[in-house]
Copies of this chain bind each other. A is one copy, B any other.
């Protein structure tokens, strides 16, 4: 065991998988010499060489597209997109190809690749550096979407993602990169995808969240009898864990950074409204960013859900 922050934990997962499996290689902008703009791949070029830690030209679509080709050839590429706001340029490759290669070729070819990208707000960065558009990718069958909330699960989930036979979008909450430190095993281990984690137990209300919102949620529910579910895998999400909690509490708040409309919160609420409605004692409340363009740093504090808003939503539900 060692104490690691999330950058170190991710770096450790990458290094171990590369050492264990020569099919694993990294590609992206500034991932080599610079070690990644957040230093996530620091030291890997020196250790594994330029053939496995590949600094690419500034071409998001070709980064993902080349990763697809590598995967089809039998490798296990891990592509980095420098910020989630720049994945939009690679959307076509992800949705048209990564997600569909297995289906299209009826299994003759697959695309076991990982796309890692810094995700989410709260870091006062320039425009497009704080996107949280996970819901878009959760609407793409054939792709899994994962968001760790701390160093331990980051390492275990990334390991699972790299070993997965299908494409995984791995979203790294930028705000948490160096915020949280945890005990993390130095050797490899798996945190299985598809399983949510109960981050806090409680009986009167269920709060579902993920990524960097989680610690805000935990602060917000202090002193309340709230169960907090950390989704971890967003697509496919762990319906059973959510429903089981709702069956006990009868009340749900879903919290995400993304704008409200058509966010992943909608899918979770809709699932509960179909499969768990008989347990509900109150409306399902979503606490999310408003349906506006993500603002620049000066207004981001007014945009992102904060503990006060989450707390109000929880209290409102507890009145039912």
Contact residues of A with B, CB < 8 Å?
85, 88-89, 91-92, 95-96, 99-100, 103-104, 127-128, 133, 135-136, 138-139, 141-142, 235-236, 258-259, 261-275, 277-278, 280, 282-286, 291-293, 295
Give the residue name and chain of the B residue nearest to A263 (CB): B139
Contacts of A100 in B (CB 8 A): 293
Give the residue name and chain of the B residue nearest to A252 (CB): B273
In order of increasing CB-CB distance, the 4 nearest A-B pairs are A269-B270, A103-B293, A273-B273, A139-B262
24 A-B residue pairings within 8 Å (CB atoms): A88-B91, A91-B91, A103-B295, A104-B127, A104-B293, A136-B136, A138-B261, A139-B261, A141-B259, A141-B261, A141-B293, A235-B261, A262-B267, A266-B267, A266-B271, A268-B270, A269-B270, A270-B273, A270-B284, A270-B286, A272-B273, A273-B273, A277-B284, A278-B283
CA distance A280 to B236 in the complex (A): 27
CA distance A293 to B99 in the complex (A): 8
CA distance A88 to B96 in the complex (A): 8
Contacts of A261 in B (CB 8 A): 138-139, 141, 235-236, 267
Give the residue name and chain of the B residue nearest to A278 (CB): B283
Check if B277 sits within 8 Å of A283, measured CB to CB: yes
Check if B269 sits within 8 Å of A274, measured CB to CB: yes
Given contacts A89-B91, A141-B291, 18 further A-B contacts (CB under 8 A): A88-B91, A99-B293, A100-B293, A103-B295, A135-B135, A136-B136, A139-B258, A141-B259, A141-B292, A236-B261, A261-B267, A262-B266, A265-B270, A266-B269, A267-B270, A269-B274, A274-B283, A277-B282
Contacts of A274 in B (CB 8 A): 269, 283-286
Contacts of A141 in B (CB 8 A): 259, 261, 291-293
Give the residue name and chain of the B residue nearest to A145 (CB): B262
How far does the Cβ of A209 sit from chain B's closest Cβ, in whole Å? 15
Check if A128 sits within 8 Å of B88, measured CB to CB: no
